[in-house]
Amino acid sequence: MRLLLLSNSTAPGRRYLEHAAGALGDVLSGVRRLVFVPFALADHDGYTARAAEALAAHGVEVSGAHEDDPIKLFNSAQAVFVGGGNTFRLLRELYARELLAPIRDRVAHGTVYIGSSAGTNVACPTIRTTNDMPIVQPPAFEASGLVPFQINPHYLDPVDGDTHMGETREERIEQFLEENDVPVLGMREGTWLHREDSSLALGGATAGARLFRRGAEPEEIKPGADLSGLLETVGRYR
Amino acid sequence: MRLLLLSNSTAPGRRYLEHAAGALGDVLSGVRRLVFVPFALADHDGYTARAAEALAAHGVEVSGAHEDDPIKLFNSAQAVFVGGGNTFRLLRELYARELLAPIRDRVAHGTVYIGSSAGTNVACPTIRTTNDMPIVQPPAFEASGLVPFQINPHYLDPVDGDTHMGETREERIEQFLEENDVPVLGMREGTWLHREDSSLALGGATAGARLFRRGAEPEEIKPGADLSGLLETVGRYR
């Protein structure tokens, strides 16, 4: 199983996916055709064209999952890329088009999975740690479970002196842990996770990630850190 | 029908509910007993004690909805106050304890409704415009519908020069409007809505609110503005 899970797709002042070009090149070696899943945004054609342009540099031909029978597309591709946007809209469409099980199955049999932001959220057991607004109601919060723990993309540290009274990201994750006993990896922007079968490592920006577990102090994770132990997680959701 | 819907419960540097003491005093005139609904936070006793302390200044005796049969409590009270915290957790409990219909019924028959933050979200037709993390899954996103439009509490303006790549609040609400044709009132912190039957007005901080409608430029709303027209909303949810 080969996964690349990006916190975010675009770094400030850089082109779409440019900041992760090296990591993308690694997981896309040997990939000629890729299915892009654009359902987190409203404009499927425009979003697919943007992904196709960014991935052309890697010699990859891109089809949108909305353009043909997606199962046929999956079967002729060596990779699937689930783009970011709104996680609730994305998951609703994955259920409506019955794509969760086929994605899980193809990835188990060697298809490369790339996700960014919402596409990373739906690689978790549930979308319970998304930052997105619940603009539509998917039939369930369960997602594809390509990793057995939760990820919070676009992780943001509390800002000293901020007078806004909404919860900080850390407070939101602590509320998640009050209800669920599952580790949450808060991935700062510019970072990614790379899974090869039973091996899992953090890559990308030096800012790294922050790992939250019930009953423990949060732990700073630096790029290069071996996180394979997280793949042993047995989560308990309420 | 008498409602007071607060964007937030606590202003920076002030005590719980202190910034809204005047508006609370107005709607609580004639109220001797109030039921506090603490289910948005994990600590029901502690949260109810905090509300009781803040409302003692208004001569109001407070019971927690978890302390006794809530229907009995509602029937002996002249007001219900739904406190903030996590909207998904709150709504799950309102379904599990079968409280949505009784609240709707009591408020239609004259019980004062006060909500802050998550308690304001659940006064809308759905929780689709909450800012909270979906830490648990309620059986549905439909809420009590005490107003027929959507509210986004703790509304935040985009920050110039911010390099964070997550969506701004305005972008999130625009995504909501792509899927649903329902007005969204983005209530900046320190503001509140006051409904008396068919009359609705914005109160509180001079920053005011921002009203979003599908296909229209967002509109700035100042405190004192008459928003009664919003009570005629016929929303279309996807």
Nearest residue, CB atoms, B42 vs list A86, A141, A178: A178
CB A48 within 8 A of CB A64: yes
CB contacts, 8 Å: A130 with chain B: 133-134
Mean pLDDT of B82-103: 98
Chain A residue closest in CA terms to B170: A133
Q: What is the pLDDT of residues B69-82, one digit of tens each?
A: 999 999 999 999 99
Cross-chain residue pair B11–A165, CB shorter than 8 Å = yes
Catalytic residue annotation of B = 117, 132, 154
pLDDT, averaged across chain B: 97
By the 10 Å C-beta count (0-12 exposed, 13-18 middle, 19+ buried), A33 is classed as middle
CA distance A105 to chain B (A): 26
Mean pLDDT of B136-151: 98
Q: What is the Cα A128 distance to its own chain's centre?
A: 13
| The pLDDT value given to residue A145 | 98
d(CA A226, CA A197): 13
ipTM value, please give it. Answer: 0.95
User: Which residue type, as a one-letter code, is found at position B11?
Assistant: A
Mean pLDDT of B107-127: 98
Cross-chain residue pair B136–A173, CB shorter than 8 Å = no
| The pLDDT value given to residue A232 | 97
| The pLDDT value given to residue A88 | 98
Mean pLDDT of B221-225: 97
| The pLDDT value given to residue A161 | 83
The candidate with the shortest Cα–Cα distance to B2, out of B24, B17, B19, is B24
Cross-chain residue pair A175–B133, CB shorter than 8 Å = yes
| The pLDDT value given to residue A183 | 98
CB contacts, 8 Å: A165 with chain B: 8-12, 154, 189
Angle at A131 between CA A125 and CA A134, to 5 degrees: 85
Q: What is the pLDDT of residues B7-54, one digit of tens each?
A: 999 999 999 999 999 999 999 999 999 999 999 999 999 999 999 999
The candidate with the shortest Cα–Cα distance to B19, out of B202, B193, B192, is B192
| The pLDDT value given to residue A61 | 97
Domains with residue ranges and CATH for chain A: 2-230 (3.40.50.880)
- A187: CB partners within 8 A, 6+ apart: A5, A7, A120, A151, A152, A153, A154, A155, A193, A202, A209
C-alpha Rg value of chain A to the nearest Å: 17
Confidence bin at B67 (pLDDT 50/70/90): very high
pLDDT, averaged across chain A: 97
Cross-chain residue pair B137–A128, CB shorter than 8 Å = yes
**Which one of A142, A155, A175 makes the best mutation probe of the B interface by having the most chain B beta carbons within 10 Å?**
A175
Q: What is the Cα A105 distance to its own chain's centre?
A: 17
Q: Which stretches of chain A score pLDDT less than 70?
A: none
Cross-chain residue pair B128–A140, CB shorter than 8 Å = no
How many cross-chain Cβ pairs, A to B, lie less than 8 Å apart?
A: 107
Nearest residue, CB atoms, A165 vs list B8, B134, B163: B8
Q: Tell me the two tokens of residue A182.
A: 């599952």
d(CA B209, CA A188): 31
Q: What is the pLDDT of residues B148-183, one digit of tens each?
A: 999 999 999 998 888 888 899 999 999 999 999 999
| The pLDDT value given to residue B88 | 98
| The pLDDT value given to residue B164 | 86
DSSP B110: T
